[in-house]
Amino acid sequence: MKKYFSIFIFFIFLSAFAQDPLKEKQIKQAQEREEQERIKEVLSNDKTTDIRKVEEDKKKKDSISATVTVIDSLYREDQFYIGLTYDLLQNRPDGVSQNSFSSGVHIGFLRDFPLNKRRNIAIAVGLGYSMNDYRQNIKITEVDGKPFYEVVNENDVNFDKNKFALHYLDLPIEFRWRTSTIQSHRFWRIYTGFKLSYLLLNKSKYVQGNEKVRIFGNDDFNKLQYGAYISFGYNTWNFHAYYGLNSLFKSEAKIDGKSIDMNTLNIGLMFYIL
């Protein structure tokens, strides 16, 4: 009996050991399936991430393109300007000379209207103010309520101050050429045009010792002035020149019976500010 029992126990152990390789194989296969599933999942996630990244990059490029298009459609060189000039009197009567420094100040705004697709050619119209201070030796006084003009010989008379100042409302219109781009506002420019000016205020002042003569609103000055100008340069700094095409005075203003037919030439610098 004991012999049969020993044989039975032996077969049980043998069966147990015989089943271990099969279990190991099944476990190994299950692990391999899990690993393959994990690899597929990782690859799937990476592919989804790549697709999303490509889509996001495309959206960014489209957005940038759309932004540039909008900027281009609105691109103008609307500008404020400030000018400083030296004012020269042209066609002066005999004996008339300028002394000290005759200066001009010009400020205003110009509205830009591009004419081509590149937007580097345009016309502009504007509104501005200018003040021109002429220091010279024409003494302006009043005789019987009317302006009287005479040339002061500076060799004989040492006056302290003699000038007349003219304040204008300016209406410029100009043709523009420039090398500007959407991205940069540093460029070369040539602007040339025509300016119509309306006299708002005029005053003259003569000072010699205790003698002081001031006259406001002299009707002998022309109310309307017109002339041609040009500005050219790079970026903010630009050379500017204006030439008046009509006289500062009406024909009624005379010295020794001759009309004071003087016009002006203003030269200086023009600064453009966006």
Q: Give per-residue pLDDT as tens, 147-193.
A: 999 999 888 888 889 999 999 999 999 999 998 877 777 789 999 99
Mean pLDDT of 130-141: 95
Two tokens at 67?
């932004």
- What pLDDT is stored for residue 255 in this prediction? 94
Distance (Å, whole) CA 150 – CA 210: 19
Helices (H) and strands (E) in the chain, counts: 1, 13
- What pLDDT is stored for residue 17 in this prediction? 45
Beta strands in 136-236 (DSSP E): 138-143, 146-151, 161-178, 188-208, 211-216, 224-234
Helix (H) or strand (E) holding 258: strand 258-259
Using a 10 angstrom Cβ sphere, with 0-12 exposed, 13-18 middle and 19 or more buried, the burial of residue 172 is buried
The percentage of the chain sitting over the pLDDT mark of 70, rounded to a whole number, equals 75
20-24, 29-33, 197-201, range with greatest mean pLDDT: 197-201
Among 67-81, 92-106, 200-214, 235-249, where is mean pLDDT lowest?
67-81
C-beta separation of 209 from 170 below 8 A? no
Mean pLDDT of 18-41: 65
Residue with tokens 């959206």: 59
Rg of the chain on CA atoms, in Å: 44
Going by C-beta distance under 8 Å and a sequence separation of 6 or more, which residues neighbour residue 230? 190, 191, 192, 193, 240, 241
Longest dimension (CA), the chain: 165
> How confident is residue 33, by pLDDT bands cut at 50, 70 and 90?
confident
**Residue 70, phi then psi, degrees to nearest 5:** -65, -45
Going by C-beta distance under 8 Å and a sequence separation of 6 or more, which residues neighbour residue 16? none
Please say if the pLDDT value at position 64 is more than 90: no
Among 22-36, 78-92, 123-137, where is mean pLDDT lowest?
22-36
Mean pLDDT of 242-267: 95
10-14, 100-104, 165-169, range with greatest mean pLDDT: 165-169
The strand pairing partners of 220, in sequence order, are none
Nearest to 82 by CA among 104, 108, 111: 108
212 three-class SS: strand
- What pLDDT is stored for residue 57 in this prediction? 67
Mean pLDDT of 72-92: 86
Distance (Å, whole) CA 206 – CA 148: 13
The mean pLDDT of the chain is 83
- What pLDDT is stored for residue 23 in this prediction? 55
Please say if the pLDDT value at position 26 is more than 90: no
Distance (Å, whole) CA 186 – CA 90: 35
Distance (Å, whole) CA 244 – CA 227: 4
The percentage of the chain sitting over the pLDDT mark of 90, rounded to a whole number, equals 56
Using a 10 angstrom Cβ sphere, with 0-12 exposed, 13-18 middle and 19 or more buried, the burial of residue 89 is buried
pLDDT tens track for 193-246: 999 999 999 999 999 988 999 999 999 999 999 999 999 999 888 999 999 999
Please say if the pLDDT value at position 50 is more than 70: no
- What pLDDT is stored for residue 56 in this prediction? 72
